[in-house]
Amino acid sequence: MSEIKYKYAYIDDDRDKVISIDEITDENREQYKYRCIGCGHELSPKAISSKCKAPHFCHKKEQVNCSGETYLHKLTKRVIKEKFDKGPTFFVEYETTKVCSNNDCKYRNPRCIEGHIPYRINLKKYFDTCTEEAFVEVKNDRYIADILLTHSEYPDRKLLIEVCVSHPCEKDKISSHLRIIEIKIREEEDVFCLQKNDVIRSQPRKVIFHSFVKEQVKPFQVKLQRYVFSPQQYINGYLTEIGCRKAHIKLHNDSFVELNIINKENCNRNCSIEEVLQWMAIYKGLRRCNLCNYYYPSRMKSENKKTCLFKEKNGIIYYPQMDDAERCENYQEVCLYNLKDFVFEEVKSSLDNNT
């Protein structure tokens, strides 16, 4: 924890009145007595007009039992309580995992789980009372909450906000399954950020949400790859995407073949058009030049194209169209790809049958 130069103080002995060092001038510095938020001892404003040092409060007595930890702890609790009591909203946000509730879906794959989805809640919709240093009872155990949020009409509804300056939230308190927001404070700047931000967000090693439901189970739709073979429009067919809820319906009534393609092993890799054509060659007898053993880069250095090697050996430079393979007597199919990662499902139902 860095050295603290106190920027806030109580005015006189009134603990409801707090003043910032930024409000102190050479003219009004003697107007009040200033008390430490941490220990209650008297403070003096320093470096008010200095161009070398930042203005701050310091204890009048040199030897005071105030490490600064108590000051940060109390200041943070005060900021949180004022934020809750005086603001129209009190937003918190943490990361969740979104999971599709349709466990029996035949297309279920890793894409049906989406992680790191920010979930924002306005706590003032669920709590109407904010209390410092309040007791909480869970079965036979009793804890003290730094900040306790409750609702006047629902006494069982509780949420704890714990401020950690040097001591993290106790393990038994966390294991009680109480909902806890643990906020770690190291310096005054952390408190200022907490005060000015509109939402308290989960952050690694800074803001931790304990015992919150972090999995959203609800029906949702993911995209599947769809292959459409309509050679009158596209010689090789084409790949597109379709929502899983409509995966049983063909996109076009006049298409020759439509396939749903699911990769259950590696959800980040899509199937390529070449891989689909190989499946079509194996199971539908489709012949395409790019699956032929004679489809090869041209030997002519000036040509950045692929030619028919069989004809080129006979002195003929020929750049075939993909469907030339259907009429070629020299076609030799080769297996270029491993299709084990993918499941190919032919779609039979047409749009007309589902209206």
Q: What is the pLDDT of residues 309-325, one digit of tens each?
A: 888 778 787 888 899 99
pLDDT, tens digit (0-9, with 9 covering 90-100), for 192-209: 899 899 999 999 989 999
The whole-angstrom separation of Cα 199 and Cα 64 is: 36
> By the 8 A CB rule, do 74 and 37 touch?
yes
User: Which residues are registered as beta bridge partners of 145?
Assistant: 134
Does position 2 have pLDDT exceeding 80, yes or no?
no
CA angle 231, 257, 242 (to 5 degrees): 105
pLDDT, tens digit (0-9, with 9 covering 90-100), for 33-44: 999 888 888 999
Cα 129 to Cα 82, 84, 155: the distances in Å are 12, 9, 11
Please, which residues have CB within 8 angstroms of residue 62's CB and are 6 or more apart in sequence? Answer: none
Q: 69-86 and 188-196 helices cross at what angle (nearest 10)?
A: 0
pLDDT at 267: 62
How much is the mean pLDDT over the chain? 89
Beta strands 257-263 and 223-229: pairing type? antiparallel
Name the DSSP letter for residue 249: B
Does position 301 have pLDDT exceeding 90, yes or no?
no
What are the backbone angles phi and psi of residue 21, rounded to the nearest 5°? Answer: -60, -25
pLDDT at 80: 95
Say how many Å lie between the first and final Cα of the chain, rounded: 67
> By the 8 A CB rule, do 37 and 4 touch?
no
pLDDT at 352: 61
Across 137-155, average pLDDT: 93
Give me the percent of the chain exceeding a pLDDT of 90.
55
pLDDT at 11: 87
The whole-angstrom separation of Cα 157 and Cα 149 is: 8
**Among 66-70, 151-155, 224-228, which is the least confidently predicted range?**
66-70
pLDDT at 252: 92
Name which of 159, 151, 252, 154 is nearest 200 in CA terms: 159
Residue 70, token pair as written in the block: 């108590």
Does position 21 have pLDDT exceeding 60, yes or no?
yes
pTM equals 0.71
